[in-house]
């Protein structure tokens, strides 16, 4: 096993120095924390991950979760990690003190869970989803619901899930048919099928608390008739004991990767004895769920960024140890009597490593940026601040979900290639990262759905205000970079890319205004790719500006090479990735209509 799965130094640099965690700590909510205590928290999660997650990474792939006798059998570490995540306050980290939480900044928690993801991506979903489900109950649930569920969930004794998808309703949630029938006893009878439910059941769970989207009888069709329910696997009786709540585990989907993280098919109300309790208002379920969905989408991006990090570290180590081939001499030949080079000395291998580094660390910075927006939003002092960070967060969410998933997969693909034939062999972990990360572009809204969200909802939001705010943030970095002789050229390039994006939007907008939304959104995926590159270019330029400043500073925290490597990777990104915007813009502004269905069917 490789020595390292995460670059802790870079993680802390991005969290502390780039996104300035310390600035958040002046806020009332976080005033009992300081950088030292949060640093200790992160280190303790690293130590926990070294001990309880990383050693089981391969084993969990080789012994997938499976369905047996009405339950799902998972690896024993699921129990360990759930319990310890409770004990260490990982599940409770961001909750209010009064709910049993620790009021730790969301960014600090994300940094910690990122380490867990990198160590073993099959495990963190169990506590993470529990946290998300508990959040919904805290946010919208009655005191009675909070009383029953929260402490058990935050301590990791009970698990939690989100139940959205049904066999006929995946991307299209308006087609949910799971039924909720009111009773006079304050609960609803739930019946229906839910599929793809992560962490939906396992042999160690005393109870699992499902947050279920369902339709109250007589509710309007579409997304406006969906309500949210708490539906536990086992319900508490008056004497405090648990009884089976008619939530049947029908199956566990077998997957190409992330095999230790179970994906279940659940049947609710098979014997008409499944009780659910309404969370929040009737018919507002989807909006409520989507509040949590922002967190879930950041989590998917974080997980993908972390898998790509682990893959990068592994291929980097291999490249530093594997001799193969030789440097070309002036006649274009190689001298076979010379010692072999390490493969890290070959330009093409360096290109693959730098591509990984630029994607991996850029994605990490993006995840931390979204987390920071979330923290500022949740502690906003003024209406203006709240509005601003709400919009910035909304704007960045589809990108933070998508870029680490898509580019992260490409990054792992390059990592695998660095190992040559060995990369394809199960003796090495690259092939597992390659399989595991592939789910990220599907989870919690596919790339297609995210791209339509970006171009169809976020760009037009409040007449373009969200985009305007993001552009203003980017401009600040462009201005800082412009005052540096070395960085000026990159700043100019990034500015040009912003302008070109305006031109692209100027080309597309008229279709939306004329009511041709299908046309407006047809190439939303390309626009997503365009904007992602711009945002990543920005985050790399921001890192380069900081690194340049620190290099002038006699009292710097990290080595010269550390800062130089950040500047160098920014240059890589601008040479190899940023130019992709040109071809994307060309495709986006090409007026041929190719992908919209006409009367004739051309795909055969």
Stretch touching its own copies by CB under 8 A, among 70-78, 118-126, 201-209, 562-570:
562-570
Q: How far is the CB of 571 from its own copies (least distance, A)?
A: 6
Token duo for residue 344: 């890290």
* Whole-Å CA distances, 236 to 272, 297, 412, 444, 539: 17, 31, 45, 30, 49
What is the number of other CB atoms lying within 10 angstroms of the CB of residue 476? 11
Distance from the first to the final alpha carbon of the chain? 47
Q: Which residues, 402 to 441, sit near its own copies by CB under 8 A?
A: 409, 413, 416-417, 420-421, 423-427, 431, 434-435, 438-439, 441
Asked whether 198 and 262 are in contact (CB, 8 A), the reply is yes
H helix runs in 427-487, sequence order: 430-437, 447-452, 465-482
Query: Of 80, 221, 373, 498, which one interacts with its own copies (CB under 8 A)?
Result: 221
Residue 564 within binding range of its own copies, rule CB under 8 A = yes
Instruction: CB nearer to its own copies: give 302 or 566.
Output: 566
* Selection from 105, 51, 134 nearest residue 376 by Cα: 105
Q: Phi first, then psi: give them for residue 216, nearest 5 degrees.
A: -70, 140
β-pairing, 208-216 vs 179-182, is parallel
Q: How far is the CB of 364 from its own copies (least distance, A)?
A: 15
Q: Phi first, then psi: give them for residue 195, nearest 5 degrees.
A: -120, 170
Clarify whether 444 is annotated catalytic: yes
* Selection from 131, 77, 144, 140 nearest residue 104 by Cα: 131
Instruction: CB nearer to its own copies: give 243 or 340.
Output: 340
Q: How far is the CB of 116 from its own copies (least distance, A)?
A: 21
Instruction: CB nearer to its own copies: give 157 or 344.
Output: 344
Q: Which residues, 249 to 278, sit near its own copies by CB under 8 A?
A: 253-257, 263
Instruction: CB nearer to its own copies: give 76 or 326.
Output: 326
Instruction: CB nearer to its own copies: give 308 or 584.
Output: 584
Q: Which residues, 360 to 379, sit near its own copies by CB under 8 A?
A: none
Residue 284 within binding range of its own copies, rule CB under 8 A = no
Residue 599 within binding range of its own copies, rule CB under 8 A = no
Instruction: CB nearer to its own copies: give 344 or 475.
Output: 344
Q: Which of 52, 444, 529, 550 is catalytic?
A: 444
Residue 571 within binding range of its own copies, rule CB under 8 A = yes
Residue 165 within binding range of its own copies, rule CB under 8 A = yes
Stretch touching its own copies by CB under 8 A, among 127-135, 138-146, 395-403, 444-452:
444-452
Q: Phi first, then psi: give them for residue 67, nearest 5 degrees.
A: -90, 130
* Selection from 368, 537, 523, 367 nearest residue 451 by Cα: 523
Instruction: CB nearer to its own copies: give 139 or 217.
Output: 217
Q: Which residues, 289 to 348, sit near its own copies by CB under 8 A?
A: 316, 323-332, 334, 336-337, 340, 344-348
Q: How far is the CB of 285 from its own copies (least distance, A)?
A: 15
Stretch touching its own copies by CB under 8 A, among 30-38, 78-86, 229-237, 583-591:
583-591
Stretch touching its own copies by CB under 8 A, among 18-26, 132-140, 287-295, 524-532:
524-532
Query: Of 2, 182, 456, 495, which one interacts with its own copies (CB under 8 A)?
Result: 456
Q: How far is the CB of 118 from its own copies (least distance, A)?
A: 17
Stretch touching its own copies by CB under 8 A, among 42-50, 371-379, 464-472, 586-594:
586-594
Q: Which residues, 19 to 78, sit near its own copies by CB under 8 A?
A: none
Q: Which residues contact 425 (CB under 8 A, 6 or more apart)?
A: 431
* Whole-Å CA distances, 407 to 137, 261, 280, 376, 416: 34, 22, 37, 27, 14
Token duo for residue 468: 């305007």
Q: Which residues, 104 to 163, sit near its own copies by CB under 8 A?
A: none
Whole-angstrom distance, CA of residue 379 vs CA of residue 105: 10
Instruction: CB nearer to its own copies: give 394 or 577.
Output: 577
Q: How many CA atoms lie within 13 A of 518 on its CB side?
A: 6
Instruction: CB nearer to its own copies: give 111 or 441.
Output: 441
Token duo for residue 493: 């390039």
Residue 97 within binding range of its own copies, rule CB under 8 A = no
Q: Rounded to an integer, what is the distance from CA 111 to the centroid of its chain?
A: 12
Residue 521 within binding range of its own copies, rule CB under 8 A = yes
Whole-angstrom distance, CA of residue 454 vs CA of residue 329: 50
Query: Of 218, 240, 515, 554, which one interacts with its own copies (CB under 8 A)?
Result: 515
Q: How far is the CB of 529 from its own copies (least distance, A)?
A: 11
Q: How far is the CB of 358 from its own copies (least distance, A)?
A: 10
Asked whether 192 and 254 are in contact (CB, 8 A), the reply is no
What is the number of other CB atoms lying within 10 angstroms of the CB of residue 206? 11
Instruction: CB nearer to its own copies: give 133 or 286.
Output: 286
Query: Of 365, 447, 477, 501, which one interacts with its own copies (CB under 8 A)?
Result: 447
Query: Of 212, 309, 354, 504, which one interacts with its own copies (CB under 8 A)?
Result: 354
Residue found by looking up tokens 């793809």 in the block? 196
DSSP string, 136-159: HHHHHS-HHHHHHHHHHHHTTSSE
Residue 236, beta-bridge partner list: 242
Q: How far is the CB of 602 from its own copies (least distance, A)?
A: 4
H helix runs in 332-380, sequence order: 347-378
Enzyme catalytic residues: 444
């Amino acid at each position: 096993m490789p020595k390292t799965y995460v670059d802790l130094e870079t993680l802390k640099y991005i969290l502390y120095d780039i996104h300035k965690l310390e600035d958040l700590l002046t806020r009332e909510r976080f005033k009992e924390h300081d950088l030292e205590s949060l640093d200790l928290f992160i280190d303790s999660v690293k130590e926990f991950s070294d001990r309880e997650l990383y050693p089981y990474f391969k084993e969990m792939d080789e012994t997938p979760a499976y369905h047996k006798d009405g339950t799902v059998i998972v690896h024993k570490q699921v129990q360990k990690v759930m319990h310890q995540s409770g004990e260490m306050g990982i599940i409770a980290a961001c909750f209010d003190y009064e709910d049993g939480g620790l009021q730790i900044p969301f960014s600090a928690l994300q940094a910690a869970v990122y380490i867990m993801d990198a160590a073993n991506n099959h495990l963190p979903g169990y506590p993470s989803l529990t946290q998300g489900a508990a959040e919904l109950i805290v946010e919208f649930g009655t005191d009675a619901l909070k009383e029953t569920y929260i402490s058990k969930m935050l301590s990791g004794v009970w698990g939690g899930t989100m139940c959205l998808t049904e066999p006929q309703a995946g991307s299209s949630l308006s087609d949910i048919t799971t039924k909720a029938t009111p009773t006079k006893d304050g609960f609803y009878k739930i019946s229906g099928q839910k599929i793809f439910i992560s962490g939906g059941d396992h042999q160690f769970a005393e109870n699992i608390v499902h947050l279920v989207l369902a339709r109250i009888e007589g509710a309007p069709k579409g997304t406006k008739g969906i309500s949210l329910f708490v539906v536990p696997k086992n319900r508490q009786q008056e004497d405090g004991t648990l009884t089976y709540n008619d939530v049947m585990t029908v199956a566990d989907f077998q997957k190409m990767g992330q095999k230790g993280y179970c994906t279940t098919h659940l049947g609710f109300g098979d014997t008409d004895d499944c009780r659910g309790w309404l969370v929040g208002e009737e018919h507002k379920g989807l909006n409520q769920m989507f509040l949590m969905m922002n967190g879930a989408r950041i989590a998917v991006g974080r997980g993908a960024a972390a898998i790509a990090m682990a893959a990068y570290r592994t291929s980097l180590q291999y490249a530093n140890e594997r001799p193969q081939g030789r440097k070309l001499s002036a006649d274009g030949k190689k001298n076979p009597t010379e010692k072999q080079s390490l493969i890290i000395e070959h330009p093409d291998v360096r290109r693959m490593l730098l591509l990984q580094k630029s994607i991996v660390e850029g994605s990490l910075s993006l995840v931390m940026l979204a987390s920071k927006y979330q923290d500022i939003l949740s502690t906003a002092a003024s209406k203006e601040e709240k509005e601003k960070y709400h919009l910035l967060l909304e704007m960045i969410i589809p990108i933070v979900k998508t870029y680490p998933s898509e580019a992260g997969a490409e990054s792992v693909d390059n990592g695998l290639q660095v190992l040559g034939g060995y990369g394809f062999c199960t003796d090495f972990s690259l092939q597992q990262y390659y399989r595991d990360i592939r789910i990220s572009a599907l989870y919690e809204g596919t790339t297609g759905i995210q791209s339509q969200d970006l171009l169809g909802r976020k760009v037009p939001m409040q007449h373009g205000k969200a985009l305007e705010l993001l552009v203003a943030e980017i401009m600040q970095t462009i201005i800082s970079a412009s005052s540096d002789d070395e960085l000026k050229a990159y700043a100019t390039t990034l500015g040009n890319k912003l302008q070109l994006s305006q031109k692209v939007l100027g080309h597309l907008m008229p279709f939306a205004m004329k009511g041709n939304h299908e046309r407006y959104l047809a190439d939303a995926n390309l626009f997503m790719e365009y904007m992602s590159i711009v945002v990543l270019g920005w985050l790399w330029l921001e890192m380069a500006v900081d690194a340049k400043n620190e290099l002038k500073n006699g009292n710097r925290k990290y080595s010269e090479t550390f800062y130089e490597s950040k500047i160098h990777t920014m240059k890589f990104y601008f040479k190899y990735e940023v130019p992709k915007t040109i071809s994307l813009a060309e495709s986006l502004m090409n007026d041929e209509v190719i992908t919209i269905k006409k009367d004739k069917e051309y795909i055969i």
